Structure 1
């Protein structure tokens, strides 16, 4: 988790479009506290999840690295 956090800290919107997470194998299973966390019963996706996704969904997500 520390390596993910350190990587995300270096991210800019420009770098996010060509990030290393895009080359990771795609999985359907999400991991709590890495891909998302639960806040007041709602799923909140992390910057790491968005980087793996590879694009902005334009929903003004709290942790969007593409802003």
Structure 2
């Protein structure tokens, strides 16, 4: 069974919810720059500077229903 599509959060796609990327995160500025670059070039993901894992962008995630897995740039989380 597929998940229902939720409304997008009332914040820009460039701004992750603080519960997903805390203001005090040691790599926050680098992560935000990598995410912005991926958004600007239409890439679906970028490589996390600390772990090397691929992280999906908010724009990519906005094109599909929320998976409920706690994605860093989830465009649906608003509380």
TM-score (norm 1): 0.48
TM-score for both structures, normalised by structure 2: 0.42
Which has the larger share of helix?
1
Q: Which protein, 1 or 2, shows the higher relative CO under an 8 Å CA cutoff with sep ≥ 6?
A: 2
Q: Which has the higher strand share?
A: 1
